[in-house]
Structure 1
């Protein structure tokens, strides 16, 4: 499971208007699973530097929290594809830099 920071957890809780701490472990698990899923689809990325990836993780977690995960990919397919392509381009550029 990805290490979910307190800042990411708080951002997610703010988005869902959750002020209590009783669900924190469940929310961290959702965020971690979402990060793993998006990374598997789009390739590795950092939650701290890749805003499109972070946004997809937060949205997928929101869908999972609301028991509507089956609708996530259809709703965000174009953003998933765009991020995957841009993430692939970033990886290729860094590979070319290393090989030179």
Structure 2
């Protein structure tokens, strides 16, 4: 039987939730993985070293654990939006449109 790889935040989550046994580790790993995926999709962040991102993963996991995830979005909407905006990286429009004439503009003369 293959040994399960634990989510990097499992120990921290169990400490936060005061869970001192290993019986639910499989379920807790699933909850943490799904929370991380959902928040990455919304924020674009993947770095678990980001303290705010890590806290949101733990908080969403707490709501899921207590079957209250529908309240997480409402209660943390501002945090999620703020984190998304803070880490937003705009795409370069000229690359998307294939604009290669940026330096060849005609000069207009007015009479």
Normalised by the size of structure 2, how large is the TM-score? Answer: 0.73
- What is the Cα deviation at residue 24 of structure 1? 0.5
User: Which has the larger share of helix?
Assistant: 1
Unaligned runs of 5+ in 1: none
Counterpart residue number, 2:74: 74
- What is the Cα deviation at residue 45 of structure 1? 2.3
Unaligned runs of 5+ in 2: 1-5, 93-111
- What is the Cα deviation at residue 53 of structure 1? 0.6
Q: Which entry has the higher C-alpha Rg, 1 or 2?
A: 2
Counterpart residue number, 1:41: 42
SS in 2 for 1:62: helix
Q: Which has the higher contact order (CA 8 A, sep 6+)?
A: 1
What does the per-residue CA deviation read over 1:38-74, in whole Å, with 9 as the maximum and x for residues that have no partner? 0001113211x21111111000000000000000000
CA contact (8 A) 1:45 1:87 kept: no
CA contact (8 A) 2:45 2:53 kept: no
Counterpart-to-counterpart distance in 1, 2:38 and 2:11: 21
Counterpart-to-counterpart distance in 2, 1:77 and 1:37: 13
Normalised by the size of structure 1, how large is the TM-score? Answer: 0.81
Counterpart-to-counterpart distance in 2, 1:9 and 1:42: 21
Counterpart residue number, 1:18: 19
